[in-house]
């Protein structure tokens, strides 16, 4: 793997993590609104917080997976940089 390829992998993963974090924030905001609706006894509001909780859990799992992949990509980038330096 070249340094350019390894850097590209890191960038893609960083962007994916940023999108997941933003989506998680949006879900947290939605959860807050849904909880308020449920507390005011609006019809059908009780199900939405559970749905949002489930989606938040999935986002958290995805973020952990991306973080793990980023760690690996960082190692590959470091290795590619060392290989490039030793080849020069």
Average pLDDT over residues 55-68: 97
Residues 6+ apart with CB under 8 A from 21: 63
| Encoded tokens for 88 | 């020069």
What distance in Å separates the CA atoms of residue 8 and residue 21, rounded to the nearest whole number? Answer: 20
The pLDDT tens digits for 1-35 are 899 999 999 999 999 999 999 999 999 998 888 77
Structure tokens at 74: 């960082």
Segment 33-45, tens digit of pLDDT: 877 777 776 666 5
- Mean pLDDT of the 67-72 span: 98
Structure-token pair, residue 68: 């793990």
The full set of domain ranges for the chain reads 3-87
Look up residue 34 and give its two tokens: 């849904």
């Amino acid at each position: 793997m070249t340094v350019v390829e390894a850097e590209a992998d890191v960038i893609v993963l960083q962007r994916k993590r940023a999108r997941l974090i933003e989506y998680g924030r949006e879900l947290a905001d939605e959860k807050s609104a849904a909880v308020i609706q449920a507390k005011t006894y609006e019809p059908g509001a009780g199900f939405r917080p559970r749905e949002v909780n489930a989606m938040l859990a999935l986002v958290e799992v995805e973020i952990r997976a991306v973080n793990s992949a980023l760690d690996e990509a960082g190692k590959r980038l470091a290795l590619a940089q060392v290989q490039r330096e030793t080849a020069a």
